[in-house]
Amino acid sequence: MSNKNQTSQTVAKLASKVLQSSTASNIQKTLAGSALAQAHSRKTTSSSVEKIAAKALQSDHYSKTTKSLAGSIVSQSDKKR
């Protein structure tokens, strides 16, 4: 059963700002791109991006922005994995 969650408007706006930022990290941009791809669609998170998001959530080294994006990504992952 695939996940039917979609990126919220709040997270989509955050993701858009991250993608436009010249100071955002590659991880933030990866998560932001995935979050935007899942806004208003039924797409689910790829396993590779899901792993990145899970690691970000488990680490104390990432910012609130990164963790917000990561949380959205993980909540939209395929429930079978």
pLDDT of residue 45: 87
d(CA 5, CA 3): 6
pLDDT of residue 79: 63
pLDDT of residue 80: 66
pLDDT of residue 4: 72
Average pLDDT per consecutive 10 residues, the chain (81 residues; last block may be shorter): 77 97 97 93 88 96 96 83 55
Q: What share of the chain is helix, strand, coil (3-state, %, to 5)?
A: 60, 0, 40
